[in-house]
Amino acid sequence: MNALLEIIPAPPFYQSVGRECEVFTAAFEARLPVLIKGPTGCGKTRFVSHMAEQLGLTLHTVACHDDLTAADLVGRHLITGGDTVWVDGPLTRAVRSGGICYLDEVVEARKDTTVVLHPLTDDRRILPIERTGELLHAHPDFMLVVSYNPGYQHVLKTLKPSTRQRFVALSFNFASPELERSVLVTETGLDAGRAASLVTLAGQIRRLAGVDLEEAVSTRLLVYAARLMVAGMDERVACRAALVEPLSDEEDTLAALETIIAAQFG
């Protein structure tokens, strides 16, 4: 008889670079919301997943976007089997039962959507649900966490000061070369030599950010490139697929990036 094996994912790997774990834990214990700022792919989401694991909390993640409504967070009435029933959204589920509600790239959400967060980010810690007439008091283990990329904002996509000042804030950036090499080796099994070459390449490409590139190459993309290499792909092909094509569509920029890669993995 064949046995079905339950695959249990390993806890997310995260290497602390300062006192961010200490601040996050203290914020949870003090029932304070947390705002995480940093460039795309620098480890914000990985950090939140790591802290949820460390604190033993359920993680409710919402990827924010232009069409995200308050109902998507709070909940809505749905017709099920001929009956109209109320279905909680991820924010309400976390408020009722505890856990982290993580709003990734919160500035992408509509302004009228983020207003629903305000009563949860002060000493009231309440969530009014107009559709059901409920006034929920947050579970003791509820925590609100939001993130965004300051470098990707423009005038129409910023957090209002009245919202920002409701959070404890942490600033993230790309890891040091030494730590980034360690992440690649630990996360993918890539040998130390090629990991060092990838990190050096990332540093060269990041110097183009804001000039020829809108965003810098992320640690996430370095991990993708490393995984392709570990799978047996040629270094230059892996870098083209993971580091070049995702960053730009401009032929001149692509050619410049190819030149950088050829110099590193020629």
Whether the per-residue pLDDT at 7 is higher than 80: the answer is: no
Q: Note the pLDDT of residue 86.
A: 94
Q: Model confidence over 44-89: pLDDT tens digits?
A: 999 999 999 999 999 999 999 989 999 999 999 998 888 899 999 9
Structural tokens at position 203: 């540093």
Structural tokens at position 245: 């094509």
Q: What is the DSSP letter of 9?
A: P
CATH number for 20-171 (one of 3.40.50.300, 3.30.450.20, 2.60.40.1190, 3.30.750.210): it is 3.40.50.300
Segment 244-265 shows an average pLDDT of 91
Q: Model confidence over 189-236: pLDDT tens digits?
A: 999 999 999 999 999 998 887 667 777 889 999 999 999 999 999 999
Q: Note the pLDDT of residue 208.
A: 81
